Chain A
Amino acid sequence: MFKITHQELEEKAFSIRRDLIELIYRARSGHLDTSLSLVEIWLGLVYSDFFQYDPKNGAWEDRDRVFLSEGHACPLQYLINAELGYYSVNDVFTGFRKPKTPFQGHSIRDLKCGLENSNGSLSIGVWQAYGHSLETKRSVFCIAGDGEFQEPSSQALLSVPHYLKPAPNFTLILNDNHLAQDSEVDLGPIADVAKLYNWQVIQIDGHDLNALGEAYLQAYNEQDRPTFLVCRTIKGKGGDPENEGRLGHHGKPPQNDDEYRNYIAGLEAKGRV
C-alpha cells in the first residue's frame, strides 16, 4: 500500500509535527492547528505506492497532482515537499513567510518546488483542481477544508461532475475537523449530497494511515466517477492536548516559550501517534 513501512510513516508524522511546531513558533505566524490536522492525510497520499512524482523535474507531465485549496495549510505542504526531496528542510526554515522566497504565507504555484497551485481565498482551488483533472490523464487530488465548504461555490462543485464530466481521476479530500476560524462547522448531509450526485464517497478517520492508504487506492482505481474522501480529523492534532479540537487557535502560533513547550510536550507524550 505504501512505499515505506507503517512504522516509518508514523516516524515521519512525528518529525513533521515537531517541525511544524518549530517552524510556526519561530516565524511567530502561520496556521499550526490546520497543518497538524492534515499530517496523516498528506503523508498517506504521497507515500502511497501508486503516487508518482519527481523532485528533480517538478513539472513532469506524468506526476500525480496535489492541489491545496485551503492554502493556510501550506506549512505542512512545504515540509512534506522537503521530505520528498524538492528542496531542503533548512530552505523552509530560512524562507518561511519571508520576502521573495517560495515559502510564502499562502502557496504560490511553483512546479519545481512541487507547489501545484497558488491559493488563499477559499473555494477556488477546488474548482481549479477539478478543471485540471479534465485535461490530464494523471490523478488530481485536492485538499479542502470543511470551513471552505461553507462557501456556496464549494457546495456547487459537488453537482458539477453531473453537469459536465464525471472525472474519475479527481479526488476531493475534505479535512473535516469541524472547526473554522471563529466558529464550529457542521456541514450536515454533505456526504449524502455527494452520493446523490454520484460521487464515490468514502468516510474515514483522517488520522488512520491504513484507512487512508486503502481509501487512496480505492480512489485511484475508480474508473467512472470522482471520489469525495471525507476525513474526520482533529484540528491541532498531536500538539498541545489542551488545544486539540478546540476553537480559538486558528492561525495562532504558540505565543511564548511556555505555550511552545506545551505543544512539544503534548507531541512527545503521545509518542509516535
Chain B
Amino acid sequence: METYGKESLREAFGHALVDAGAKWDDLRVLDAGTSNSTYSQFFQRTYPERFYTPGINEPGMVGIATGIAMAGNRVVACDMSVFLHHAYAQIRAAARQGSDMHFIIAASHTGIAVGPDGGSAHDLTDLARMRLVPGFNVLTPWDGAHVRQIVNVILEEKGLYYVRLNRPKVPIFLKDPISFEIGKAYRLREGNRVTIIASGDKVYNALEAAEQLGDGFADVIGIATLEPLDTDTIIASAKRTGRVITYEDHLCVGGLFEAVAGVLALHHPTPMRRISLDRVFTTSGDPDELAELYGITTASLVKECQDFTKS
C-alpha cells in the first residue's frame, strides 16, 4: 500500500488546531494539564490568550469549555482519554445544553496503542461512553491527513463532537482531496467473500489485510463516524458478502462491534466475528507487542477472515 510518511493522530490534531486558530478568531482551546501529550500546546504557544487550562482538573475543564461554547465561541477541549472518565457528568451536562454550539472534545491516548504506561492508562471504553451521550457525534479518524480534514469540517458546522485520537505514529495513507462527511461510512475496497468494518487507525491495517487476502475477497468499510452510524452502507455490504468482521482498538463492549451488531440484528441478521479486546484490563508492553498479545494485528485479521470464509 502506498503511504506518505507517518504521523500520530494527536500531532496532526495539534497542527490542525493552529491552522484553525488563524481561520477562526473565536476558537478557544482548553486542556486539563496534558497539553504536551495532546499537542494542544502547539495552539497554546501560537495563541496563548486563547488557550485555557484549569490545571489537572478534567471536570473543571469540560465545565468551563461548555460555558465558553454557550457564550458563542468555537471550543475544543483536549485531554488524555482515560482522564476524561473524571469529567463524564460534565460531558453529559454539556450535551444537555443542546447542539446549537461548537463543542469539540478531543481525546488522545486511546486504546492499547498507548503501550507501556499499562492498563490503567489504556482507554478502551471511550467509544462506549461517548455513544451513550445523546447528541454527540463520535468520530474516529484514520490517519493524520484525515484528522486535518475532519477538524476543518467540524469547526465549520455547529454541533457536539468527540474526536478519538491516539499516541503512536501511524502511516498516512489518504491522499488529497479527502472526502469526509459526518455520518457517512466509506467503502474503500470491493470484495464479495467477507466485509471488514474498521474504525480509527485500524482502517489502514484492514486495507493491508484485504490486500493480502487478494482481489475481490474483502469488502472494506471505513468508519470515521461511529455515531451516527451509516446503517445503509453497512447493510448493503452485509447483503453482498453475507459475513461481517469488525475491527477496532477498543473493548468488544460498546464500541464498533456492538454498534454494527445492533444495526445488523435489526435490519439484516448476518454472521459476525470481531477483532477487538475482551472485557479485560490490559497490561504494559510495546504497542506492537500488545497488538500481538490481544490479537488485533493485521495478521490476526487475515487469519480470522480466512477461517470465517471456510465455513
Contacts and interface: CB of A to CB of B under 8 A. Distances in A.
Interface residues of B, number: 26
A153 B96 contact: no
A132 B93 contact: no
A163 B97 contact: no
Interface stretch (A33-41, A115-123, A180-188): A115-123
A129 B60 contact: no
Q: Select the residue from A118, A125, A128, A157 with max chain B CB neighbours within 10 A.
A: A128
B311 to A, nearest CB: 49
B52 interface: yes
Contact of A136 (B54, B65, B71): B71
Contacts of B67: 127-135
Nearest to B98: A109
A164 interface: yes
Nearest to A107: B96
A153 B66 CA distance: 15
Contacts of B66: 127-128, 131
A118 B98 contact: yes
Nearest to A106: B96
Interface string B34-59: 00000000000000000011110101
Interface string A90-122: 000000000000000000110000001111110
A4 interface: no
B59 A109 contact: no
A118 B93 contact: yes
Given A132-B68, A133-B67, A164-B53, A127 B73 contact: no
Nearest to A118: B96
B54 to A, nearest CB: 5
Contacts of A117: 70, 97
B93 A130 contact: no
Contact of A124 (B52, B73, B90): B90
B63 interface: yes
Contacts of A118: 93, 96-98
B35 to A, nearest CB: 14
Contacts of B55: 163
Interface in B73-114: 73, 89-90, 92-93, 96-98
Given A160-B54, A164-B53, A132 B71 contact: yes
Contact of A131 (B57, B68, B72, B92): B68
Contact of A127 (B59, B71, B72): B59
B151 to A, nearest CB: 21
Given A118-B97, A121-B89, A124-B89, A160 B60 contact: yes
Contacts of A130: 63-64, 67
A130 B28 CA distance: 15
B97 A124 contact: no
A135 B73 contact: yes
B70 A132 contact: yes
Given A117-B70, A127-B67, A129-B67, A134 B89 contact: no
Nearest to A163: B55
Nearest to B59: A153
A156 B57 CA distance: 9
A42 to B, nearest CB: 20
11 contacts: A108-B98, A116-B70, A120-B96, A121-B89, A124-B59, A124-B89, A131-B66, A157-B60, A160-B60, A160-B64, A163-B55
Interface of A: 108-109, 116-121, 123-136, 153, 156-157, 160, 163-165
Given A109-B97, A127-B59, A135-B67, 6 more contacts: A109-B98, A117-B70, A131-B65, A132-B71, A153-B59, A164-B53
Interface of B: 28, 52-55, 57, 59-60, 62-68, 70-73, 89-90, 92-93, 96-98
